Amino acid sequence: MKFPEHKCGLYLTHNAHRDVYETVQDYCSDAEDFVSLEDRQKCIDTDECWELQWYPDTPIGFLRVLGSTLELVMAEALRVEAEYQERRI
């Protein structure tokens, strides 16, 4: 499994919303971090959510991807990383 490049931390979590007794909808209210709106709804419906958050350059700025399966999150994270690297050029 290939992870996005990161000079600082990288965190992979599964169902972190349950640790604080919240729903996926309440815990992950920022819909733009999800793989898609349809996948966000799937997370809400199944009460399952994978999250990958990483700090590509510094401990201040991070990128985050949420989704219903690890495979979807990893594929989207690599796409987001490539887009991020293109903007830096």
Count CB atoms within 10 A of the CB of residue 19: 9
pTM of the model: 0.92
CA dist 80 and 25 (Å) reads 22
Query: Which pLDDT tens digit goes with each residue over 17-38?
Result: 999 999 999 998 888 999 999 9
| Position 57 confidence tier, pLDDT thresholds 50, 70, 90 | very high
CA 49 to chain centre: 9
* Domain boundaries of the chain, sorted by first residue: 10-88
Query: Which pLDDT tens digit goes with each residue over 33-55?
Result: 999 999 999 999 999 999 999 99
